[in-house]
Amino acid sequence: MNLVSSGDRVLVHYTARLADGSVILSTHGEREQPLEFTAGGADVIRGLSEAVLGMHAGQSKLVQVTPEQGFGVRDPELERRVPLGELPPGIRVGERFEASAHGLSLPVWVREIGASGALLDANHPLAGQNLFLEVELVSALSSQGQH
């Protein structure tokens, strides 16, 4: 039985949940395919990339991913209140768009909209969240080309 090493290409099925148990992503659907990535690499969040190391095909496990291993810690410096007139027409809470400031373009999402303004956030929407991943290793191909 071969164990996954850093650099191996792997196929995994996974379900990602927030601390409240709500599912945010899953490859366990009718049309979903397993996710392919390089174990120990930067293709996916570090918590998932490192979780498969030492696993064997057919094995499953539950992994807690901290913000540092996931989508990062929330940075309040990446939040900005803007007047409603600076928003694209028809934009709603949760939607993303490219904002411009000082000649730079930055992807942001709308955290909240009030009567006089909106809160824009350049943090990833999952920044600061602990994630819980149910990971099933479907298959692995060694970086040396062996199964």
Q: What are the structure tokens assigned to 24, written together?
A: 């945010």
Q: What percent of the chain has pLDDT over 90?
A: 84
CATH number of 9-72+126-141: 3.10.50.40
pLDDT of residue 147: 46
Rounded mean pLDDT, 50-56: 97
* Domain(s) of CATH 2.40.10.330: residues in the chain: 76-121
Residues 131/65, Cβ–Cβ less than 8 Å: yes
* Domain(s) of CATH 3.10.50.40: residues in the chain: 9-72+126-141
Rounded mean pLDDT, 25-53: 93
Q: Are strands 35-38 and 104-113 parallel, antiparallel or unpaired?
A: unpaired
Burial per residue of 110-135, b for 16 or more beta-carbon CB atoms within 10 angstroms, e otherwise? beeeeeebbbbbebbebbebebbbbb
- The kind and range of the H/E element at 73 are none
Predicted confidence band at 145 (pLDDT cuts at 50, 70, 90)?
low
**Looking at the domain 76-121, which fold is it?**
Thrombin, subunit H (2.40.10)
Q: What is the pLDDT of residues 81-113, one digit of tens each?
A: 999 998 999 999 999 999 887 888 989 999 999
